[in-house]
Chains A and B, each alone.
Chain A
């Protein structure tokens, strides 16, 4: 069978009708889908589907694509049609009061006309610029006497478009400018007009297309079976049926699928690794008091990271229930003079009321602090993947809220070298890194403190995490008398590389197409 014959045989009856309509047309510019629908007595949707398939088969091509802009009224526009534009209303309000000799302030106009602030200020600005009104002393508005060309023209246009959507090209350049000025756009949602772009496409048959169309018509629209049905199987009619041949090479339609969010998939992997390494999950609340978020971690109450520019405070309720004893007193003493911890403390008066002030959890270590106070297992390993909040300007490197992967390890055998061992394990298991490096670091609650750097296969040297041995000023007041490792992993950069994104905000992206298109990691 020749290619043409094979193709002709593969055509769906709708495709044959569309091809025939195009073949019969003498218009060199081709036909629009509307034209074809008319000629072939198909629905427009059926025509479009058939045209799509014919294009894929190389039988139809698009001859021209002309974008056309259509002007219609928005809800605001309809309202302006019913009740007139703010400009017209301001002018008539001023005119009406001027007749009575009274004067109106901008506020009066707003109240009288029930305009919202944005509408009002826009319209006032427009009228002032045009010299129709001026604002006299005391914020009183008055008419200058000249009339507003803009207000009149705009009202006329609204009336005209109200009758039905119109192609933009039908308007005069001046009208087009006015429409553009008062059209809805990003950041200006409350304008009267909207301009939508529609593309008008004209289609024609390719050379093969003509041949196939004629071949298909010659063969006539034969009775072919599109699909096998249960009935045909039951009554055996399939035996005499002729099945339409499919074009196998077509790309399949996309189907919706149930899929993990790519960032969650990454976090699940981390979670699995940690439980496999013997870590038990801890949970905590999104809202914490300052005691567990900072005081218990030996961050002095004057620490710079505790100021209003670093932590989000909760408006209502402002404070938690009182901190339970003995923790409140033992922590207060550790801060003031070291208490029983062997420390000299920070030398200041500890404010016990402040411990109850509520904040949005700013570090996952708050969860660890609570675990320490709740009789943890010794030896024990714990982790949490906690949502944390920092008072930062949101940008490509700062998200309003983010996950911290943190935890603790308690045990008699814990020391600086086992801390380095744990970090080495993290480097291998979580980052698949062979090369690692430790540098001294500073955290208010650990001493010694370490930063873990790894050579990432794609990023080069990166900081993978921070860790240290909890200071005795942290553990002792919470009733822990064994050494404790506190560790945290900074995984966002690794996640971003894995997900191929460059803006940290995209970890929580709201773009479904992006989320759907991400491949899985394995």
Chain B
């Protein structure tokens, strides 16, 4: 056995086993000629958009599809934005990322091996959990920095020299994270079959601000479009701003089975994402049934009862255990200021559940 691993690797060079010089020179010439005859950007007719060079589209995170699905469901705002090197430049090795969760990289300049939504708002802890769920170890000697609206966790040795390491890995406050979860919550939160008017949704969001101590947050409203219903919903536009907008499509009560188009679309996306990752496909149980089963279990076991955090967690774990695909890691947050546990569940690309509550019930 060779003691120098690089020597062994050199000996295993796949290209050395081939006679590359035996390739027909005419084939190379055909390729060269074809390329120089191809269109170049400066030769486009005026006003025609440029074709994006392949190099500029590189570096998308491996799970971009899933994140886009999620973003399409969670809201039309900034949540779920995915950028690529084509949209932001100026930082060597920048490969884009996701805005609705930490970007957990073992090497700067490489796509994330695993990605996910914010769980607790602590970037390092969330990366550890996301990676553990994917069977990966924690990032070694992690450091956190932000760039162009994205949060990255990378080994300290990989931090680009031009960025500043954050003093704290807590990027999102508990209140702002719970607000995002609550606005997108299917159990008893912002995503509901109820048809809430604009005034009702605004009042509900203001109540959430009060409950979560978000004094500096504001609400903006958007008028109805030509396809809008009378029903509204709210989503986070950016940190500190919530938009209340009218929903498109038939009112929930008119939708087949009384299910809102929003819920149906999200469930379809969850199914599509699941199928793309090897989950159930055609002929498998309707994912909408699964979602409704989980919602019912969480309502019956947590919302309609007064249970402790551990009990709520057990109910959530049991409800999610029947899923054919792996949900986003569930989060438990201790809140001793309340008597009973509460729960939020978001759906879109995946299912994410957070339970909050006291360690014991009086």
A and B associate in one complex: no
Identify the A interface with B (CB < 8 A): none
Identify the B interface with A (CB < 8 A): none
